[in-house]
Amino acid sequence: MADRQVSMDKIVNLCKARGIIFPGSDIYGGMGNTWDYGPVGVEMKNNIKRAWWKRFVQESTNSFGVDAAILMNPKVWEASGHTTSFADPQMDCKECKSRHRADNLIEAHSKGTVNPDLMTNEQMEAYIAEHHVCCPRCGNFNWTPIRQFNLMFSTSRGVTEDNRNVIYLRPETAQGEFVNFQNVQRTMRAKIPFGIAQIGKAFRNEITPGNFIFRTIEFEQMEHQWFCKEGTDVEYYEEFKKKAWKFLTDLGFDESHLRFKDHDKLAHYAKCACDIQYLFPMGWSELNGIHNRTDYDLSRHQEYSGKTMIYNDPITNEKYIPYVVEYSIGADRLMLAVLSEAYEEEELEGGDTRVVMHFHPAVAAYKAAVLPLQKNLADKAKEIYAELSKRFMITYDDAGSIGKRYRRQDEIGTPFSVTIDFDTLEDNTVTVRDRDTMAQIRISVDKLADYINERIAFN
């Protein structure tokens, strides 16, 4: 990828123009920080989730998937510590009433030279006063003290007004894996070490969402909990750092756009934790996390539920509550990274430029586009479309010049364009154009599906 031709505006505009991502509730003027995936985007996001699942569940001999309920017993969040500890330091501007995170204000003001993760609330307040950090919205200096703002969305369950209980939209999918630890272990006869994975929606009432789909209030997480014996956790933590990195480079990320960053301030559950950061259009930011959660979650669930979380080792007869190494990545955040990484404005001979998205073929929405050179070749083209679409997502385009149609496919990253011309009727061959090189080959229709199939796998 040519370096940083990409900007957030270009990505947002391309996504809107090409059916990848639209603003949520668009016809009502949007709904702050919600986004709807369009026909192209939903295919891409499903492919991202499929690639992740293939790597971390399908190809693992000892990892199992679950799909737990979003609404969980409120005791789950007491046990996990989220009701008391899942909070950000919030400051309100008394002038314009806008709401900000104190740590973000300090980071922005110091241009990243001061690390607010190492500060207490009192120290952050002192820094903001001493450096006269003003409201980025109205420019005034009139702050409320810092308050801890809990990020969980609450709603109520119950049919009558006097019979309502507060429940929460889950802020992470992880707890669905922890509460099913015994169910999965027993039914799958799983032996430690083993993993439980889940892909699903999570919700956070973020104080400062933004940067398109980077930080939203509703998002999807892909989380994998690795249950292991205390003492082996450090080794597995390192192993999952490597696996997480390899997943990204196999998806096509340039290593120079990725880096590890250890957490200075640990979440309430973690013994050690790090992120893989990606060089997003707005700068280096967290893409995924790897956390050593120790036996914190299972111990707390044992305490709060009264149900045992002890694992009986069938070989050694040892009994213990397992440690957990967590690998967690946002599907939407990965989608933004994939979009940013793939973007190129390529200069062509003759002075033209094309925007081309160099997605890994496994991620691309459509594996091929079927393009009849002229409309009266539609019968043959539709026959080829019908055959190919039994195996892959395929798109069909017969509008405009062939050059324009190639450009449209380049912009959504379709790896192959299949052109049907009059020779196709004679000898049953088609032209296949490669998205990245623009090279064209002539190939028999009988071999087309296998040709595509061999080039799109995520391994």
- Which residues contact ligand GAP by CB under 6 A? 172, 174, 204, 206, 215-216, 219, 221, 223, 286-289, 326, 328-330, 332-333
> Cα separation of 292 and 244, whole Å?
14
Residue 437 CA: distances (Å) to CA of 44, 416, 441:
22, 11, 11
Sequential DSSP letters for 325-348: EEEEEEHHHHHHHHHHHHEEEEE-
Relative to beta strand 353-357, strand 368-372 is unpaired
Residues with Cβ within 8 Å of residue 266, at least 6 apart in sequence: 272, 273
CB nearer ligand GAP, residue 241 or residue 354: 241
Cα 245 off chain centre by? 14
User: Any bridge partners for residue 215, and if so which?
Assistant: 210
CB nearer ligand GAP, residue 92 or residue 326: 326
CB nearer ligand GAP, residue 175 or residue 185: 175
Helix ranges restricted to H, 161-292: 174-178, 181-187, 233-250
User: Torsion over CA of 269, 270, 271 and 276, rounded to 10 degrees?
Assistant: 170
Smallest separation, CB 276 to ligand GAP (Å): 8
Smallest separation, CB 20 to ligand GAP (Å): 17
Smallest separation, CB 103 to ligand GAP (Å): 14
ω before 193 within 30° of 0 (cis)?
Answer: yes
Smallest separation, CB 223 to ligand GAP (Å): 6
Query: Using alpha carbons only, what angle is made at residue 250 by residues 247 and 256, rounded to the nearest 5 degrees?
Result: 90
Smallest separation, CB 213 to ligand GAP (Å): 7
CB nearer ligand GAP, residue 274 or residue 356: 274
Token digits for 33? 């920080």
CB nearer ligand GAP, residue 286 or residue 344: 286
CB nearer ligand GAP, residue 36 or residue 450: 36
CB nearer ligand GAP, residue 216 or residue 340: 216
Smallest separation, CB 282 to ligand GAP (Å): 14
CB nearer ligand GAP, residue 15 or residue 329: 329
Sequential DSSP letters for 362-425: TTSS-SEEEEESSGGGHHHHHHHHHHHTTTS-EEE--SS-HHHHHHHHHHTT-SEEEEE-HHHH
Handedness of CA 235, 241, 244, 245 (dihedral sign): negative
Smallest separation, CB 151 to ligand GAP (Å): 8
Residue nearest to ligand GAP (CB): 330
Token digits for 410? 């380049």
Smallest separation, CB 93 to ligand GAP (Å): 22
